[in-house]
Chains A and B, each alone.
Chain A
Amino acid sequence: MSLYEIIGGLLSIIGASFLFLGGLGIYRMPDVYNRLQAGTKATTLGAMSLILGVGVVKMEDHWSWIVKAIIIIVFIAISNPISSHALSRAMYHRKKFPIIKSSDKNMDAYREVFEKQEREKEEKK
């Protein structure tokens, strides 16, 4: 085993366990927003680490493995938060409000903005 294989193997195992935790988080969390939280964070670092690990292992064969791996890593780091943001806003506008455990009214700061936008839509009609 060379040094590349040891480092790459460690990174791959860590990444795969985080990806597994992402899947488990999607299954266990109670509502859409918490599922997005678990899914986005765990899968982003998991995929980054796993793909970097594979790139490091294969770097001995040819250098283009690591270059393509880095391109995929950058793309995942940019695209994952954007899609989760778009989904969360879409779900709020479909009136799927988040679960809030305490009875404090300030806990949902986005509600007033949403209601204002709804009123403006009604007036336009």
Chain B
Amino acid sequence: MIYIFYITLVLLTLGMIFSIIRFVKGPTAGDRTVALDTMTTLMVAGLVVLAAVFDRLIYVDVALIYGVLGFIGVIVIARYLEGAL
């Protein structure tokens, strides 16, 4: 069973590498924020898988809080780019 989680973690890391390339390359601030948004979701999923691998329920709570903070961060950056803050 543990090997299935290893496979998912490898796939998540590959996706993360592509978004990091976009984060570094992205011509505008919007592209970088899109990459950040994707990375947040990937990280939430990764934390849940790690919680299952280490068998610690508390990591799931960490994942939820990470998701909430990432969402608020993206919203604030978007409002700032729009010029509404």
Query: What is the interface of chain A, defined by CB distance below 8 A to chain B?
Result: 1, 5, 9, 12-13, 15-17, 19-24, 26-27, 32, 35-36, 39, 43-44, 46-47, 50-51, 54, 57-58, 61-62, 64-65, 68-69, 71-72, 75-76, 79-80, 82-84, 86-87, 89-91, 93-94, 96
B29, closest chain A residue (CB) = A94
Contact call B64/A75, Cβ cutoff below 8 A: yes
Decide: A72 and B67 in contact? CB cutoff 8 A: yes
- Measured in the bound complex, the distance between the Cα atoms of B83 and A26 in whole Å is 25
Residues in B neighbouring A61, C-beta threshold 8 A = 55
Task: Determine whether the beta carbon of B75 is less than 8 Å from that of A83.
Answer: yes
Tell me if A32 and B38 are in contact (CB < 8 A): no
Residues from chain A with Cβ under 8 Å of B41 in the complex: 19, 22, 43-44, 46-47, 76, 80
Using CB atoms and an 8 Å cutoff, list the residues of chain B in contact with chain A: 1, 4-5, 7-8, 11-12, 14-19, 21-22, 28, 30-31, 33-35, 37-38, 41-42, 44-45, 48-49, 51-52, 55, 57, 60-61, 63-64, 67-68, 71, 74-75, 78-79, 81-83
Q: Which of B15, B49, B55: most chain A Cβ within 10 A?
A: B15
Question: CB-nearest residue of chain B relative to A24?
Answer: B18
State the CA gap A82–B79 with chains docked (Å). Answer: 12
Query: Chain A interface mostly helix, strand, loop or mixed?
Result: helix
A72-B63, A84-B37, A86-B78 known; A19-B42 Cβ under 8 A: yes
**Inter-chain contacts of B38 with A (CB < 8 A):** 22-23, 26, 39, 43
The smallest beta-carbon distance between A16 and chain B, in angstroms, is 4
Tell me if A87 and B30 are in contact (CB < 8 A): yes
Whether the Cβ atoms of A27 and B21 lie closer than 8 Å is yes
